[in-house]
Structure 1
Amino acid sequence: MRILHVFDHSLPLHSGYTFRSRSILREQNRRGWQTFHLTTPRHVRPGPDPETADGLIFHRTPPISPALSKLPVLREIAEVNATTRRLAALVEQVKPDILHAHSPVLNAIPVQRVARKFGLPWVYEIRAFWEDAAASHGTTQEGSARYKATRWLETRAAQQADAVGAICHGLLGDLRERGIDPAKLFHVPNAVDAEQFTPGRPRDEALAAQLGLQGASIIGFIGSFYDYEGLDVLLAAMPEMIRARSNLHLLLVGGGPMDEALRAQAKALGLEGHVHFTGRVPHAEVDRYYSLIDVLVYPRKRMRLTELVTPLKPLEAMAEGKLVAASDVGGHHELITDGQTGTLFRADDPQALATSVLDLLAHPELWEERRQVARRYVAQEKTWSRTVENYVPVYERLAARQARRLAA
């Protein structure tokens, strides 16, 4: 089977989006499927076309003109048109059996156009609704004209696709509420390759000394600093936690739009000696920082995006053999069983966060069993092999239907 995937961006850029894509493609290749890969003009890293990254070949859509890139709406139209042209040329070259668009909807529109032109079946896979992602990043507001227009585009793409996958049950439920035929919906959850993680990794004492964290009790967050991640809630909880545990430190690894505001908040709260911002670190170095952290905290705020979408980071922390504490938003509920694989606390509530994390830190005798249960959960239930297995009946159904159409 030959599948042509269309992505917003890809390796060698590093993000949760690109790592998920890489894992899916590798597992599909292991099954003997031939995969081809195209990115849109939103892949902004300069490089050759095609470009090989981690053994995968990515074809590129050329960037749009700088003048158009500054004009909302016209920019998106230009991106869709450029992707449509590049995709049509690639279809003629590689002759795929199925087209597979990965969100956002700007990828689905050109795939739908090209699928219709060549008479091919196509799949739309949704990792988050574009309108909710935009609202969470502050580029629009829920209920605005732009929000409603984008929601309409997402719904229309799902209606037109031959099959629609989503990474979590929250998104699937929302699609059913929009009137999408349940028969064409399928689940492709986030997962991890547990073998790539090393539970029980010794604490990196050299790094601890470098950061001034020798002998400290450390909680932390590793990822991107977006507002919806709720790191301001975590900072607001720190004074109470420090009063209870004077050697408690918070390690924040990463960066993003909220970086400056979070640093200012930490300073205003007088937390400079207890909160450590590392900035972004090389991907190969991340495991060193994991080794220092006793509890990974994910305080996501309650909003449509976090209620509907499951993150990847808590699964990675579990695979790393780390304790996890997270807010009780819907996306976390799909990954974490409170008291078994992790701890859940009330979202948007610094007091609830502090109480839950302090209680976890106060009972180290429970840590090892919790770590083992969580690690076993991801190793058995959240594997890429299990996720990609869910594509099999979908692809086979579409391929069989296409064969009947061509034979008629």
Structure 2
Amino acid sequence: MPVPAAQHDVRAIAYVLSEYPVVSQTFVRDEIAALRAAGRRVEVVSVDRTGEDRIPASWSGPYTTLDDVSWPRAVLDALWWVARPRAVARLVRTLRLTGGARARRVLKGVPSAARRLAGLDVDVCHAHFGWTGMVVASYVGALLGRPVTVTLHAADIYLAGPELARRLGAVDHVVTVCEYNVRRLAAMGVDPARVTVVPCGVDVTVPVPPVPDPTRVVSVGRLVPKKGMDVLLEAFREVVDAVPGARLEIVGEGPEEQRLRALTDELGIGGHVTFAGALGHDETLARVDGAAVFALACRVLANGDSDAVPVAIREALVRERGVVTTDVAGIPENVDDETGWVVPSEDPAAVAKALVEALGDPALRARKGAAARRRQVEHYSLEASAERLGRLWSRLVAAGARR
């Protein structure tokens, strides 16, 4: 007879992350905060230092780093695990599945992290991204005999080779952020039954701010090719002719900045475009609040890299901003004709047409914005995402995964 799920309520989770804290990964920080707010204990282990150590604890919450482990401590903890042959056998099997990935670099800290987490009675180990954090989580979970899960996002799928499917054999279940990714993983040989979609949630309690400037467009993202900022600038050349006083603010930094600035001058729209640089999360959202329209012209690069579902889009949707974006990866699962404007990628004319309509029809923009917020509130809250993860982990623990 199945054991009732209530008897397997997961109360303690170890988040094993390649790097933490990372300011650009607010979705990880917010997910952890939502789990803690729901009464779950979350222990965060960062494999590497991020170079962002000056981030206040009030932003990141508590965490430890593998680099903090001294060699004497590492040796003592390794010997402690050697006396537990079943745990060592599980670790050896996991090393074979991962091909020993990162083993030489990280195994110094793994026994110590696992021993500390064992004392905290952790129920499950979770990672974000299919990089080092996932591999280390699989090693820690093997020693603990606890289920291991990972959330895969975008480049960690789209740029991965065949080794990803093999390494995923070392985790008990895969989480990803959109249905598009489920199909991509299936094409790589990952059984869809092992994959659950849990979107990155957003704060749906924020009030809807009034639109202070009906001619302002904002775009948020790193200045890298897959964000399509050049397409947006080319589109905006047409917008300034059609919408008097139209202005575009680009929030973000990256290697494309100088090229994009040069393109702005070449297009003759320098007086209509502002590059704000990288801003803190709260200030970035304030810039979104100050605009009528949010635009992001994502594209798929020749090597297959793209965004999956930028969280910035969801943050604009919940604020009832007009959202103009492209039909890349999982974006159409979140933005459609009811909630915004979705156009083909690499099509400046289509982007321009959508922007002109969004700026020029406040009533239509308001209807789409209200529908977008309703959908975000119903399906994409931080609390809903945390609850989905909790149910998944409870099922894995109930099934006896890894024990």
Question: Shorter-chain-normalised TM-score: which range?
Answer: 0.7 to 0.9
Q: Which residue of structure 2 aligns with residue 8 of structure 1? A: 18
For residue 168 of structure 1, report the CA deviation from its aligned partner. Answer: 1.1
* Equivalent residues of 1:104, 1:128 under 8 A apart: no
- Cα deviation code 1:173-197 (max 9, x no counterpart): 12222222333221111221111x3
Q: Which residue of structure 2 aligns with residue 333 of structure 1? A: 332
Q: Which residue of structure 2 aligns with residue 219 of structure 1? A: 217
Does residue 358 of structure 1 match 2:356?
Answer: yes
Q: Which residue of structure 2 aligns with residue 32 of structure 1? A: 39
* Equivalent residues of 1:127, 1:166 under 8 A apart: yes
Within 2, Cα distance between the matches of 1:55 and 1:346?
Answer: 37
Most deviating of 77-86 and 257-266:
77-86
For residue 297 of structure 1, report the CA deviation from its aligned partner. Answer: 0.6
Does the C-alpha gap of structure 1 residues 291 and 88 become closer, same or farther in structure 2, counting only changes over 3 Å? closer
Q: What pairs up with 1:251-266 in 2 under 5 angstroms?
A: 251-266=249-264
Most deviating of 263-272 and 386-395:
386-395
Does residue 161 of structure 1 match 2:182?
Answer: no
- Identity value in percent: 23
- Cα deviation code 1:239-279 (max 9, x no counterpart): 22222224222111221221121111111222211111122
Asked which structure has the greater RCO (Cα within 8 Å, sep 6+), the reply is 2
Within 2, Cα distance between the matches of 1:126 and 1:320?
Answer: 26
* Equivalent residues of 1:40, 1:79 under 8 A apart: no
For residue 111 of structure 1, report the CA deviation from its aligned partner. Answer: 1.9
Counterpart pick for 1:191 among 190, 201, 208: 201
Most deviating of 351-360 and 391-400:
391-400
Q: What pairs up with 1:85-234 in 2 under 5 angstroms?
A: 85=111, 87-130=113-156, 132=158, 150-195=160-205, 197-201=206-210, 203=212, 217-234=215-232
Does residue 322 of structure 1 match 2:331?
Answer: no
Within 2, Cα distance between the matches of 1:400 and 1:361?
Answer: 52
* Equivalent residues of 2:174, 2:196 under 8 A apart: yes
* Equivalent residues of 1:295, 1:323 under 8 A apart: yes
* Equivalent residues of 2:178, 2:199 under 8 A apart: yes
Within 2, Cα distance between the matches of 1:154 and 1:90?
Answer: 28
For residue 47 of structure 1, report the CA deviation from its aligned partner. Answer: 5.7
Does the C-alpha gap of structure 1 residues 216 and 53 become closer, same or farther in structure 2, counting only changes over 3 Å? closer
Does the C-alpha gap of structure 1 residues 90 and 201 become closer, same or farther in structure 2, counting only changes over 3 Å? farther
Within 2, Cα distance between the matches of 1:187 and 1:278?
Answer: 34
Within 2, Cα distance between the matches of 1:62 and 1:184?
Answer: 32
Q: What pairs up with 1:261-300 in 2 under 5 angstroms?
A: 261-300=259-298
Q: Which residue of structure 2 aligns with residue 248 of structure 1? A: 246
Does the C-alpha gap of structure 1 residues 291 and 118 become closer, same or farther in structure 2, counting only changes over 3 Å? closer
* Equivalent residues of 1:80, 1:107 under 8 A apart: no
- Cα deviation code 1:142-190 (max 9, x no counterpart): xxxxxxxx52332122222111111111111122222223332211112
TM value normalised by structure 2: 0.81
- Cα deviation code 1:366-399 (max 9, x no counterpart): 2222221111111122112222222233212222
* Equivalent residues of 1:198, 1:321 under 8 A apart: no
Q: Which residue of structure 2 aligns with residue 145 of structure 1? A: none
Q: What is the CA RMSD across the aligned residues, in angstroms?
A: 2.8
Q: Which amino acid aligns with 2:162?
A: W
Q: Which amino acid aligns with 2:200?
A: N
Q: Which amino acid aligns with 1:337?
A: D
Q: Which amino acid aligns with 2:190?
A: I
Within 1, Cα distance between the matches of 2:266 and 2:203?
Answer: 40
Within 2, Cα distance between the matches of 1:34 and 1:286?
Answer: 29
Matched residue pairs, number? 361
Q: Which amino acid aligns with 1:153?
A: E
- Cα deviation code 1:202-237 (max 9, x no counterpart): 63xxxxxxxxxxx77222212322210000001112
Within 2, Cα distance between the matches of 1:176 and 1:8?
Answer: 25
Q: Which amino acid aligns with 1:9?
A: E
Within 1, Cα distance between the matches of 2:60 and 2:254?
Answer: 29
* Equivalent residues of 1:129, 1:154 under 8 A apart: no
Q: Secondary structure at the match of 1:256?
A: coil
- Cα deviation code 1:287-317 (max 9, x no counterpart): 432233111111001344437x211111100
Does residue 394 of structure 1 match 2:397?
Answer: no
For residue 124 of structure 1, report the CA deviation from its aligned partner. Answer: 2.0
Within 2, Cα distance between the matches of 1:228 and 1:79?
Answer: 31
Q: Which residue of structure 1 aligns with residue 365 of structure 2? A: 367
Q: Secondary structure at the match of 2:175?
A: strand
Within 1, Cα distance between the matches of 2:19 and 2:231?
Answer: 31
